[in-house]
Structure 1
Amino acid sequence: MPRTKATALAELFPSQTQAKTAIVINKVLERYHYGKANFDDAFAHGVVDSYLDALDPSRSFFLARDVESVQSGALRLNDSLRRGELDAAFDTFRVYRTRVDERVAHALALLSGNFDFNVDESYQFDRSKAPWAKSGAELDEIWRQRVKNDFLSLRIAGKSDDAIRERLSQRYRSLARRLQQFTAEDVFQSFMNAYTETLEPNTNYLSPSTSANFDISMKLSQEGIGVVLRSDNECTVIQRTLPGGPARESGQISAGDRIIGVAQGLGGKIEDVAGWRLQDVVDKLRGPKGSVVRLQVVSQAGGKEGVSREVALARNEIRLEDQAAKDYVIDDFPNAPGVKIGVIELPSFYRDFDAETRGQRDFRSSTRDVRQLLGKLSGQGIDGIVIDLRGSGGGSLAEATSLTGLFIDTGPVVQVKDTTGKVTMEEDQDPGMAFAGPLAILVDNQTAGASEILAATIQDTKRGLVVGLPTFGRGSIQTLVDLNRYVTDEKQDLGRLRLTMAMFYRMNGDSVQLRGIEPDIVFPFDSQILPRERLQANPLPWDRISPVSTLTYGFHLEPDVFNRHLERVRADRGFQLMAERNRRLAVLDTQKMVSLNLTDRQAKAMEDDGFRAEFDSMATQLKSESAGVDSGDGPDLGTLRESARILADCIKAGCFSKQGK
């Protein structure tokens, strides 16, 4: 339910329950967190910096003297948290809210004037590393350029000046109004997450209300558009789309796109969501099945200068069946006539633990579903299998082990090291294989966790080949800790902690952390700027442990297979467009400034629109040519089909013929 009531500043003080929660979190982290962090002065300064960045990532509200005042108390932070003293965190937030009110008032005053878009002037939109403003006058100039940039972006999008003023007035007032609705629980969660994420990015605090929402999302089907979102410097960014969801089915939404506006129904007014809290945007996207939500979206390749487009989607139920494993067959290979390749798309490693606990023998799991699909595909006479793990964020460790066992004989799958340093082995104990034929694993930068375990084991045992992009590189294992187990007062709800408590390792002893899995054949796209664990703040380091011996199955990549792949992609317009798209993204990633000259911005917008039109046209063409084959998270432009062609070439070249142990 959206919040409408403002919280008085006098209400923004920590409660006794929050003080107790801070003490408990501190003790749990000291005792159980894998990283065994040193809670020293450097760590305390890191927490303060993380908190300031969480509140003001664009450095457009706080003054330098505000920041200096907060930082001066950092040395007392560790002792304060051990005692549950949170006054400094709440003091900082109250100052922040005051500064936001001041900036919004200034922005609204600027809207009553006019802007000259003929002068050569630039705006630094990425201020994440910029110095904090030393005076109100310096902030006034930053906001003059910011409002001018917002105004210019909407003018290029074809809005009238009156409509622009109304839209931006709504945006700025909404920014202040939503911040005024922050409760003490919101402030506490923001600060504690700044604290936990200073250790590493996958440990998070869930307040009581956030925990309730988490339970709902885990137990019930959601009615929405099927996207996973993240915040990025006051923007709402689509991290990935879910299989079977309206967003992916539309073909108009891709990972990396920014949502800047949301409207309800076909005729509803667009609400500007720039600067909104992530949860508030999620609430706007949810709704009854069949209802329409309209999004204003800016393509990732358009950068900060990008022109928005509107996408209308009918909400639908995102069911387990939509995210379960799916299969299809590809059989048109010019270089390998008669070869049939089965594809199994595996969005996650799922397991119905509740049904299993109840003793239900036919509980749903990814291993059971994939085993069934392998039998079905084998009955169709397929010659090899591609397991599509693109966008698969992982899931159950038990499922990763059992599903890997479908393709190998008995033996080790993954090593796990806990917070005490003890190493255990997860093994496949089921003799034989559900599928013993040629195998390829397709991965990308969002293949993470349990998915990386499967890819690593197939590669290390030489059971098959891995193709695609280097994987995400998340080698950590999390568990959900109920903080209430550490207190005796049943009336208090402390929330929960998502805690990193172990790491997993390949059979060769290497951690997957940061480095991920390097495919045997890497597609020729620049993936350096794509989301990866190593690009997040404070990731745990890479390390290695002792290797273990394992069976090997003799796959070898013949040079001719790689050469044929290169010949195809060099002549393939879809691959050329993907390479150009990533090149553009790499350039955008280095840019911190944007022109405020109308002519320059219009020329850039026309260039970007032309590229996007060709890109979208090629994606539509390939999708029609590949009916029934999911394109993954965004335009596929032939990567799945190329993976199948590589496997077909491997079969013809005898890459799987030298079986050994």
Structure 2
Amino acid sequence: MKNLCLALLWLTLVTPFHSRAQSFSKVAGEAFLVYRMIDKFHVEPRTLNDSFSHDLWFTMLKLADEDELFFSDDDITRLRAFESTLDDEIRNRRSAYISLFTSLFIQRLKQADSLVAVLCSSGNNTTGTQRVQPKPQTIKPVATPGSADITALRNRLQVYIKEQGSCSRLRRQINYILRNAATSAVAIGDLYCEAIARCFDPHTGYFPLSAKENFESQLGKQRFRFGFRIKEEKDDIFIEDLQPGSPAYKSGQLQKGDKIIQAQWSGNKTDAVSPTATEELNDLLRMSNHDTLLLRVRKANGSVIQVPLLKEQATDAEVENKVKSFVLKGQQTIGYIYLPTFYEDWDQGNIGLKGCANDVAREIVKLKKENITGLILDLRFNGGGSVQEAMELTGIFIDAGPVAQIKRKDPKPIVLYDVNRGTAFDGPLVVLVNSYSASASELVAAALQDYNRAVIVGTTTYGKATGQVMLPVDTTISLESPEPRPGASPDNNSYIKITMSKLFRVNGSSLQATGVIPSVIVKDSLVHIEREADEPFALKATTIAPNKYYKPYPVLPAIDARMINTTAAFTITNHEAEKSLLQSDAYGSQLNEAFKTLLASDTGVKAAYEVLQLLIKK
């Protein structure tokens, strides 16, 4: 079990900040609206029928009990009565299924809580037989007496504790959900809406308010944060460091090495947590952006203090270094830029001014003062973000023209153009990608590859070529006015992220489920991850007509991967503007040195450096 079914735990943590107390009838109404909203806007909507019901039944079970620990065979039998009728439940706004599901799940969690308490107190964490986990579709209902269900549950928990090596953590995770019955019902209702969304595609999702804010902060520059990092040592959590200017730093009461012994949100005593794992504390910290956190820490002298903290939004100056650049000096002087995400400034109305494309352009100006002869743009581990920023970033390297195509429900595709003449950098260019590069980063890599503007180096990308829009749960809205209708209830703080478009290359082919295949393959040490094609309900790749105005540059010289030397020697330094900033920033200097150390041993960067040397020679 992954932190007691991560999806349910996450929803449980954010739902205390819902202002409404959902009843099952309200859950049924919300589920109806969620389906209607997605059906209205999704690029490939699904019919509400028995097939959808079947998929929803298994998805809900998978989200709630991923490791098949809690539900008994008898529970599965009772729930299976709804396997082909959930479409009717949604259509008619009925709550029989979600009421039964919630009742059974909470009942089993209470039983598990008692059993885990016994297992933890006895210290018997190492007995049991390895349990082979079947896929959800292989579950076969076998009615068993109640006592047999309890025995089976105890055996499953015992095996799980043995495999995970942690007994107390499992009990705390169960308690997260059971502390408040009303909250538990709300969380499971939200999980039901999330399951409906996921049956359309992996990237359509249901978001309570705080989860929506946290998602948007990942795409925007101004994140809510406390400003401290944590580290885990055995079963204890310590403050690793503080970010200057942050709420934690300005409190004057927290220092590196403080042991966190308890965290809770002010006014909600039932959520007090004594964390022993970083994931557990991070889940708690993501609960809200607007409430006061009460953090109890033990100082180095043994004293215990409680520090109130309120998240603040990072200023532009504090997040300016989201784009990181270095100068690699060897036989050639090469610029290196790392871009971890395609962010934009959502709320400031400064489109093109405070997004990542403009930040990259500024770094290029600084690097060009170092007389670089080539540039590495590192998009590895970049999971995407703003398509607008991806389009503008591509435009930095090409002299106007179409960069991608978007297809919505309408038959005619929308062409994304770089309308700005000129480039910020026209020298030799390498783009680094890996299997974690997705969405907007794939758009950039594909466009630069199609234009013969850059050599793509690394491993095949993730294969996500869809675009999502966040909308409030309100069927009266339109894309022209995506705000709740006047007079709508302020208590309805839920949102849906809907896949509304598919992205296509300028040549008409799709990256969906296939990804960008690099021109130069450089294997890395990453373990295999599931890619888009492996995700349940992933959309299939299709093709459209190529854009007739697409005019590629001359073909780049062929690079033989066997000629790549990943032991290339170069020194890593900062450009002069960065050096000046780091002189008065001890915290930034520490992070900068750590980054340089990682780059020095990075085989992908060394391969990219070598590719540029070969391009320059040719």
| Common fold by TM > 0.5 | yes
Give the conservation status (yes or no) of the 8 Å contact 1:125–1:146: no
Structure 2 counterpart of 1:329, from 310, 327, 330: 327
1:524-543 equivalences under 5 Å are: 524-525=523-524, 529-543=528-542
How big is the shift at 1:275?
10
Deviates most, 427-436 or 526-535:
526-535
Structure 2 counterpart of 1:124, from 103, 127, 131: 131
Letter in 2 for 1:36: P
- The match for 2:341 is 348
Letter in 2 for 1:499: I
The answer to whether the aligner puts 1:280 opposite 2:279 as a matched pair is no
The answer to whether the aligner puts 1:14 opposite 2:24 as a matched pair is yes
Structure 2 counterpart of 1:418, from 381, 389, 408: 408
How big is the shift at 1:459?
0.7
Q: Residue deviations 1:342-397, cap 9 Å, x none?
A: 011112222324333xxx69831222222222222222111101111122222222
Give the conservation status (yes or no) of the 8 Å contact 2:106–2:178: no
Give the conservation status (yes or no) of the 8 Å contact 1:476–1:513: yes
Letter in 1 for 2:612: L
The answer to whether the aligner puts 1:84 opposite 2:87 as a matched pair is no
Question: Structure 1 residues 382 and 139, CA, compared in 2 at 3 Å: closer, same or farther?
Answer: farther
Give the conservation status (yes or no) of the 8 Å contact 2:31–2:93: yes
Give the conservation status (yes or no) of the 8 Å contact 1:200–1:539: yes
- The match for 1:306 is none
How big is the shift at 1:525?
3.5
Give the conservation status (yes or no) of the 8 Å contact 1:208–1:493: no
Give the conservation status (yes or no) of the 8 Å contact 2:339–2:382: yes
Instruction: For residue 93 of structure 2, give the secondary structure of its aligned residue in structure 1.
Output: coil
The answer to whether the aligner puts 1:650 opposite 2:610 as a matched pair is no
- The match for 2:447 is 457
- The match for 1:629 is 596
1:188-199 equivalences under 5 Å are: 188-199=189-200
Letter in 2 for 1:434: A
CA distance in 2, matches of 1:466, 1:89: 49
CA distance in 1, matches of 2:365, 2:281: 46
Give the conservation status (yes or no) of the 8 Å contact 1:123–1:146: no
1:563-578 equivalences under 5 Å are: 563-565=562-564, 568=566
Q: Residue deviations 1:537-586, cap 9 Å, x none?
A: 21111111112342222343435x42222x547x99xxxxxxxxxxxxxx
Letter in 1 for 2:275: E
Q: Unpaired segments of 5 or more residues in structure 2?
A: 1-9, 231-239, 244-255, 263-273, 299-310, 477-484, 570-589
Instruction: For residue 199 of structure 1, give the secondary structure of its aligned residue in structure 2.
Output: coil
Letter in 1 for 2:356: S
- The match for 1:55 is 64
The answer to whether the aligner puts 1:513 opposite 2:517 as a matched pair is no
Question: Structure 1 residues 179 and 469, CA, compared in 2 at 3 Å: closer, same or farther?
Answer: farther
1:260-659 equivalences under 5 Å are: 265-266=258-259, 268=261, 271-272=275-276, 279-280=283-284, 282-283=286-287, 321=319, 324-332=322-330, 337=331, 339-356=332-349, 363-484=353-474, 486=476, 489-491=487-489, 493-494=491-492, 495-525=494-524, 529-549=528-548, 550-559=550-559, 561-565=560-564, 568=566, 629=596, 631=598, 637-652=602-617, 654=618
Instruction: For residue 489 of structure 2, give the secondary structure of its aligned residue in structure 1.
Output: coil
Letter in 1 for 2:203: N
CA distance in 2, matches of 1:29, 1:379: 50
1:86-235 equivalences under 5 Å are: 86-113=95-122, 115=124, 122-124=129-131, 126=133, 128-129=135-136, 131=139, 134=142, 135=144, 137=148, 140-141=151-152, 143-144=154-155, 146-147=157-158, 150=161, 154=165, 167=168, 170-171=171-172, 174=175, 177-178=178-179, 180=181, 182-208=183-209, 210-211=211-212, 220-224=223-227
How big is the shift at 1:405?
0.9
CA distance in 2, matches of 1:277, 1:32: 36
CA distance in 1, matches of 2:465, 2:439: 6
Letter in 2 for 1:558: A
Question: Structure 1 residues 348 and 292, CA, compared in 2 at 3 Å: closer, same or farther?
Answer: farther
Name the structure, 1 or 2, with higher relative contact order (CA <8 Å, separation 6+): 1
CA RMSD of the aligned region, Å?
A: 4.3
How big is the shift at 1:491?
2.8
Give the conservation status (yes or no) of the 8 Å contact 1:110–1:144: no
CA distance in 1, matches of 2:174, 2:346: 45
Q: Residue deviations 1:509-533, cap 9 Å, x none?
A: 1211111111111222476722422
Q: Residue deviations 1:398-442, cap 9 Å, x none?
A: 221121111111211001001223201111111222211100001
How big is the shift at 1:476?
0.7
- The match for 1:587 is none
Q: Unpaired segments of 5 or more residues in structure 1?
A: 155-163, 228-244, 249-262, 295-314, 573-622, 655-661
Give the conservation status (yes or no) of the 8 Å contact 2:328–2:335: yes
Question: Structure 1 residues 216 and 423, CA, compared in 2 at 3 Å: closer, same or farther?
Answer: closer
Deviates most, 470-479 or 71-80:
71-80
Question: Structure 1 residues 94 and 138, CA, compared in 2 at 3 Å: closer, same or farther?
Answer: closer
How big is the shift at 1:636?
6.1
Give the conservation status (yes or no) of the 8 Å contact 2:377–2:431: yes
Larger helix share, 1 or 2: 1
Give the conservation status (yes or no) of the 8 Å contact 1:631–1:640: no
Give the conservation status (yes or no) of the 8 Å contact 2:227–2:242: no
Question: Structure 1 residues 178 and 437, CA, compared in 2 at 3 Å: closer, same or farther?
Answer: farther
Question: Structure 1 residues 349 and 630, CA, compared in 2 at 3 Å: closer, same or farther?
Answer: farther
How big is the shift at 1:287?
11
Tell me the percent identity. Answer: 22
Question: Structure 1 residues 637 and 395, CA, compared in 2 at 3 Å: closer, same or farther?
Answer: same
Letter in 1 for 2:337: I
Give the conservation status (yes or no) of the 8 Å contact 2:125–2:162: no
Give the conservation status (yes or no) of the 8 Å contact 2:341–2:385: yes
Q: Residue deviations 1:240-262, cap 9 Å, x none?
A: xxxxx9799xxxxxxxxxxxxxx
Letter in 2 for 1:392: N
CA distance in 2, matches of 1:192, 1:21: 7
CA distance in 2, matches of 1:402, 1:3: 37
Letter in 2 for 1:440: V
Q: Residue deviations 1:253-279, cap 9 Å, x none?
A: xxxxxxxxxx99326376356997984
Letter in 1 for 2:488: E
Number of positions where the alignment pairs a residue of Structure 1 with one of Structure 2: 523
CA distance in 1, matches of 2:14, 2:195: 26
Give the conservation status (yes or no) of the 8 Å contact 1:3–1:181: no
Question: Structure 1 residues 516 and 354, CA, compared in 2 at 3 Å: closer, same or farther?
Answer: same
